[in-house]
A and B are shown apart, each in its own frame.
Chain A
Amino acid sequence: AQSVTQPDIHITVSEGASLELRCNYSYGATPYLFWYVQSPGQGLQLLLKYFSGDTLVQGIKGFEAEFKRSQSSFNLRKPSVHWSDAAEYFCAVGATGGSYIPTFGRGTSLIVHP
């Protein structure tokens, strides 16, 4: 069975600073990987996804993530954080083949200081 670990419950950064949110997954084959963002009381918005090909994927709002098979990681990065980026971020893994049901990490809460 697949699983996702987001080791950081909270991350605090200053506005304008760079950001990296960690995500490690467990899956027997090459997975589908996703990062979602959730604002308070809202649903999830897809930031980016990795299915295959280039391991560095670009997403919306200036986010990018890099798939590293050797480390079973899919860390999310942004070079300069804006105050509006404060939200909950979820990494998810989807199984390849068969029914698509994503498994979510517990989430990382991003706090942005002015």
Chain B
Amino acid sequence: GAVVSQHPSWVICKSGTSVKIECRSLDFQATTMFWYRQFPKQSLMLMATSNEGSKATYEQGVEKDKFLINHASLTLSTLTVTSAHPEDSSFYICSAPLAGGNTEAFFGQGTRLTVV
């Protein structure tokens, strides 16, 4: 199956700093990528849909100035958590469906963000 790689796997940062998470489709082109947030023992909550070459679409309640998404190429989307605070600590997961219609989405391995 297709491979989605997420980097870093984990990161610890100080409160007030910004953190960038990368999501790459390694063997296919992804015009769309999805960013999820997962709290402990909970399901995945869709944060935003990243669209190559255009603005991301954010879900209701997600601060777009807080969670900056850039999808500059067909194989890379980035999520930047700006001015991170402890409440931003979470597990962030990206996914990408194969282009060309409805199909399954492939998931990255996730990034554990801890803000201290």
Binding site for B on A (CB under 8 A): 32, 34, 36, 41-46, 49, 90, 94-102, 104-107, 109
Given A41-B110, A43-B93, A44-B93; A102-B43 close (CB under 8 Å): no
Interface SS of chain A: loop
Max chain A Cβ within 10 angstroms of own Cβ: one of B32, B91, B105:
B105
Given A43-B93, A46-B1; A100-B112 close (CB under 8 Å): no
| B 99-116 binary contact with A (CB < 8 Å = 1; else 0) | 001111111111010000
A106 and B42 CA atoms in complex are apart in Å by 6
Given A42-B110, A94-B102; A101-B43 close (CB under 8 Å): no
A90 and B44 CA atoms in complex are apart in Å by 9
A114 and B49 CA atoms in complex are apart in Å by 42
A104 and B101 CA atoms in complex are apart in Å by 20
Please provide the chain B residues from 7 to 36 with a CB less than 8 Å away from any CB of chain A in the complex: 32, 34
